[in-house]
Amino acid sequence: IIKAIETAGYKPGEDVFLGFDCASSEFYENGVYDYTKFEGEGGAKRTAAEQIDYIEELVNKYPIITIEDAMDENDWDG
């Protein structure tokens, strides 16, 4: 996505920002965010704390200004 923004002649974080909907309820089960559901066997399985760290990593790496449903609605620890 960043490359496409740059190829189009725009500057990520200046001209274009990102936002996404994690839809975490689709892959949260028994206290675990299970990325194997869409990444296959190599996908991560994250606790609430690990999910928060992962989202924070993405926000620090990319020009993200909005995130919807990064945590499951029933994940009160997250």
Has residue 74 been placed in a domain? Answer: no
Tens of pLDDT along 22-62? Answer: 999 999 999 999 999 999 999 999 999 999 999 999 999 99
pLDDT at 47: 96
pTM: 0.87
Has residue 55 been placed in a domain? Answer: yes
Of 15, 3, 46, the C-alpha closest to 57 is: 46
Tally of domains in the chain: 1
CB burial of 22-45 (b: ≥16 within 10 Å; e: otherwise) equals bebeebbeeebbbbeeeeeeeeee
Q: What is the rounded distance in angstroms from the CA atom of residue 27 to the CA atom of residue 64?
A: 21
pLDDT at 78: 82
Has residue 46 been placed in a domain? Answer: yes
Distance of CA 68 to the CA centre of its chain: 9
Has residue 13 been placed in a domain? Answer: yes
pLDDT at 77: 82
Has residue 78 been placed in a domain? Answer: no
**C-beta separation of 61 from 12 below 8 A:** no
pLDDT at 12: 98
Has residue 75 been placed in a domain? Answer: no
